[in-house]
C-alpha cells in the first residue's frame, strides 16, 4: 500500500523539535535540531513558501531554528539558495522525485560544484549530464537562454557562502523550477492566473547532443583534438574564439585581481595552461580564469557564450587570424619580377628549413644514442610504473617546478612514496646535466642526503626518481643563518658551507664544542684542515680529518671541496 495513503501528523514536540508521525505515533521524520530549544517556538509558513521553525520572540526576523528552504527536494523556488553554507558544510541541491507520484529521491540532480571556478552541473546518477559553465558576472557562461526581464539571477561566492538563486522582479508573478526525471529536464513553470494552472515556460537543457561539427572537437567527454602540436613554451600563442561555451572548470584557476594582459602572461609562462579569459565580463571585463590540461566540453554558442583565448602552436597562428577565423589569402601579381622574387625567397626558406631539420634530427639521434650508451649504474623504471604512481603526472600531485622541470609526488605499488623529477620540454637542461646529477648522487651516500632511487628514459620522457622528502627540501633550511635583512651572495655561500659541514659530520654548529679545544664546528673544521697544504686539502679524506670531524665517514669530500 502507498505510504502516502496513511494519515500523518506534523507537530512541535516538548523539546521544540518539528516531528512527523504516522497513525501509530511512530516518528517518520523530524527536523533533527542539534540542541534542545527551551523558549516557546512557532511553526510558520511564509508567503515565499518557506516553512520555518522560529523562536516566538523572533517573529519578523530571519533567524530560524529550521527552514524548509535548506532542504528543497525537486523544486527551486525564488529565494532558495542552490549551493553551500561554507560555515556549516550544508549543501542545498535539487533532486528529482523518482516518479511524478513517488517523492522518493531520484537520480536526476542539479548541484553547484564547490571548486575554484564554480559551475552548476546536471547529474544523472554519477555521470555529468550537462554543465552551466562558470558564472561570468552576468550569468552562467554556457547558458543559451535569453535574458528574461521578469527574473533577477544572483550568484554569491565568499568565505561564508557559495550559492545561486533567483527572484521575481514582478512580485505578482509566480514561478518555480522542477527537476523532471522522466524527461531528464529542468522545467520552469509560470502560474497562469486566467486558467489557474502552471504553464511550461522553458526546458533545460534544450538539447543533449554534444557532438560538434567544427574546429576538430569530438564528444565533449574526450576533449579536443589538435591539428598541430604545441611547443609548450613562449613560442606558442593564443587565438581568440568568440561566443564559446567555456571548458569544464574542474581543472581551472581564478584570480579576481588580474587583468586580461596579466592573465595571458601568467598562462604563457605555464606549460600546462591551455586557455584563459576574463572571469567577469561586466563592463570592459576583469579578473582572470585559466584552464589546465585537456579542454573538455567546448562548443559554439551563437546565443551566448563568451571569448576564450586558446593556446596554439606558432605555425597555427600563421594560418589563423587574430580572432580565430581563417584568413582569406588574396594574391595579387603586380609584376613578374615580384612574383619571381617571392618564389626565390620561398625556395631559399624551404632549403634552409630542410637543412635545419636534418641537423636537428641528427642531433636528436646523437642524444638518443648517448642515452642508450650511457652507463647510469641505476635501477631503471618503466614509464608506465611512474605514470601509474603519479596518477599520470596529475597536477594535483605536482610539488613544484625548477629549471630541470616539474616535480611530482607518487606512490609505488608497494606503498613507497617517491618524488619524480620530469625533464620539461622547454628546459635548457639536458643529458649532460642528467648525467652529472646521476654521477653525483650515485657517489654521495649519507644519511642526511636524499637518495636517488633510479631513472626512466623512454621515448621523449626523461625522469629521475628520488625518495620522497616529507620534511621539505633544503630551501626551507639552507638560509637559517640569514634571519634578518638582505644578505650578499657571499653570505649565502657561507651558509651553504655550514650546511655541508653539518650534513657530513652529523653535528650542529650551535652548541658544538670540542672537548679539548672548546671550538665550535666551524673552528673545529678549520683546525682540522690547518695542517694540510693546498694539495693535501684537495684530498682531505684522511684518517685524521675523519676522526676530527666526529668519526663520521666522509664520502666524496674531495668532490665537495672541488665544486665548492
CA–CA dist 444, 557 (Å, integer): 9
Q: Return the minimum-mean-pLDDT range out of 24-38, 171-185, 493-507.
A: 493-507
List phi, psi (to 5°) of 435: -60, -45
CA–CA dist 55, 16 (Å, integer): 9
Question: What's the burial of 38, exposed, middle or buried (CB within 10 Å: 0-12/13-18/19+)?
Answer: exposed
pLDDT tens for 288-317 read 999 998 888 888 877 678 899 999 988 877
Do the Cβ atoms of 132 and 142 come closer than 8 Å?
Answer: yes
Quickly tell me which residue has 650578499 as its cell: 488
- Bridge partners of 191? 198
pLDDT at 204 over 70: yes
Which cell numbers hold the place of 172? Answer: 505578482
CA–CA dist 442, 378 (Å, integer): 8
Buried b (16+ CB within 10 A) or exposed e, 370-392: eeeeeebebeebeeeebbebbee
- pTM for the full predicted model: 0.55
Residue among 285, 276, 278 at smallest CA distance from 309 = 276
DSSP string, 294-313: ---S-EE-TTS-EEEEEEE-
Query: What pLDDT was estimated at residue 342?
Result: 72
Query: What pLDDT was estimated at residue 517?
Result: 58
182's enclosing H/E stretch is none
Query: What pLDDT was estimated at residue 458?
Result: 82
- Bridge partners of 144? none
Query: What pLDDT was estimated at residue 320?
Result: 59
Query: What pLDDT was estimated at residue 197?
Result: 96
Q: pLDDT tier at 436 (50, 70, 90 boundaries)? A: confident
User: CA-based angle 154:159:165, to the nearest 5?
Assistant: 20
Non-local CB neighbours of 539 within 8 Å, separated by 6+ positions? 558
- Bridge partners of 154? 165
Q: pLDDT tier at 165 (50, 70, 90 boundaries)? A: very high
pLDDT at 478 over 90: no
- Bridge partners of 187? 178, 203
Average pLDDT over the chain, rounded to an integer: 77
pLDDT tens for 440-469 read 766 666 666 778 888 888 877 888 898 888
pLDDT tens for 404-414 read 788 999 999 88
Query: What pLDDT was estimated at residue 491?
Result: 57
User: CA-based angle 455:460:463, to the nearest 5?
Assistant: 20
pLDDT at 559 over 70: no
The residue that leads in pLDDT, 516 or 143, is 143
DSSP string, 315-343: HHHHHB-TTSPBP--------HHHHHHHH
Amino acid at each position: 500500500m502507498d505510504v502516502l495513503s496513511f494519515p500523518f501528523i506534523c507537530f512541535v514536540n516538548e523539546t521544540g523539535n518539528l516531528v512527523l508521525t504516522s497513525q501509530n505515533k511512530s516518528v517518520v521524520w523530524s527536523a533533527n535540531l542539534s540542541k534542545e530549544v527551551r523558549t516557546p517556538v512557532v511553526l510558520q509558513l511564509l508567503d515565499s513558501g518557506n516553512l520555518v521553525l522560529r523562536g516566538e520572540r523572533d517573529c519578523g526576523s530571519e533567524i530560524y531554528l529550521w527552514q524548509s528552504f535548506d532542504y528543497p527536494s525537486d523544486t527551486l523556488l525564488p529565494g532558495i539558495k542552490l549551493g553551500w553554507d561554507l560555515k556549516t558544510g550544508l549543501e542545498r541541491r535539487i533532486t528529482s522525485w523518482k516518479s511524478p507520484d513517488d517523492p522518493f529521491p531520484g537520480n536526476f540532480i542539479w548541484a553547484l560544484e564547490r571548486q575554484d571556478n564554480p559551475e552548476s552541473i546536471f547529474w544523472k546518477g554519477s555521470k555529468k549530464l550537462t554543465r552551466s559553465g562558470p558564472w561570468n558576472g552576468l550569468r552562467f557562461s554556457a547558458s543559451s537562454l535569453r535574458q528574461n526581464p521578469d527574473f533577477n539571477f544572483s550568484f554569491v561566492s565568499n568565505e561564508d557562502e557559495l550559492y545561486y538563486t533567483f527572484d521575481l522582479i514582478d512580485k505578482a508573478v509566480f514561478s518555480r523550477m522542477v527537476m523532471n526525471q522522466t524527461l531528464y529536464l529542468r522545467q520552469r513553470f509560470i502560474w497562469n492566473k486566467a486558467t489557474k494552472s502552471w504553464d511550461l515556460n522553458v526546458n533545460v537543457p534544450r538539447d543533449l547532443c554534444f557532438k560538434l561539427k567544427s574546429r576538430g572537437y569530438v564528444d565533449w567527454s574526450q576533449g579536443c583534438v589538435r591539428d598541430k602540436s604545441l611547443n609548450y613554451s613562449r613560442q606558442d600563442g593564443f587565438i581568440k574564439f568568440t561566443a564559446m561555451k567555456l571548458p569544464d572548470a574542474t581543472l581551472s584557476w581564478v584570480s579576481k585581481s588580474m587583468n586580461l594582459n596579466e592573465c595571458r602572461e601568467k598562462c604563457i609562462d605555464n606549460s600546462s595552461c591551455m586557455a584563459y579569459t576574463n572571469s567577469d565580463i561586466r563592463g570592459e571585463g576583469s579578473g582572470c580564469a585559466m584552464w589546465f590540461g585537456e579542454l573538455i566540453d567546448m562548443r559554439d554558442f551563437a546565443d551566448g557564450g563568451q571569448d576564450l583565448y586558446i593556446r596554439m602552436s606558432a605555425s597555427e597562428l600563421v594560418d589563423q587570424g587574430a580572432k580565430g577565423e581563417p584568413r582569406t589569402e588574396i594574391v595579387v601579381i603586380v609584376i613578374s619580377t615580384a612574383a619571381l622574387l617571392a618564389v626565390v625567397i620561398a625556395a631559399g626558406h624551404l632549403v634552409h628549413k630542410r637543412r635545419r631539420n636534418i641537423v636537428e634530427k641528427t642531433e636528436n639521434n646523437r642524444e638518443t644514442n648517448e642515452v642508450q650508451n650511457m652507463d647510469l649504474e641505476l635501477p631503471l623504471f618503466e614509464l608506465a610504473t611512474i605514470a601509474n604512481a603519479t596518477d599520470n603526472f596529475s597536477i594535483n600531485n605536482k610539488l613544484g617546478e625548477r629549471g630541470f622541470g616539474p616535480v611530482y609526488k607518487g606512490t609505488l605499488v608497494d606503498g613507497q612514496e617517491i618524488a619524480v623529477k620530469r625533464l620539461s620540454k622547454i628546459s635548457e637542461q639536458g643529458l649532460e646535466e642528467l648525467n652529472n646529477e646521476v654521477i653525483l648522487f650515485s657517489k654521495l651516500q649519507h644519511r642526511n642526503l636524499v637518495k636517488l632511487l633510479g631513472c626512466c628514459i623512454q621515448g621523449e620522457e626523461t625522469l629521475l626518481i628520488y625518495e620522497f622528502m616529507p620534511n621539505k627540501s633544503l630551501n626551507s633550511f639552507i638560509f637559517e643563518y640569514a634571519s634578518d635583512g638582505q644578505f650578499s651572495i657571499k653570505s649565502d655561500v657561507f651558509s651553504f658551507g655550514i650546511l655541508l659541514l653539518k650534513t657530513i659530520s652529523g653535528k650542529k654548529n650551535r652548541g658544538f664544542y670540542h672537548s679539548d679545544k672548546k671550538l665550535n664546528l666551524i673552528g673545529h673544521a678549520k683546525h682540522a684542515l690547518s695542517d694540510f697544504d693546498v694539495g693535501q686539502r684537495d684530498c682531505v679524506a684522511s684518517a685524521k680529518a675523519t676522526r676530527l670531524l666526529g668519526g663520521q665517514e666522509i664520502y666524496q669530500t674531495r668532490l665537495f671541496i672541488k665544486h665548492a
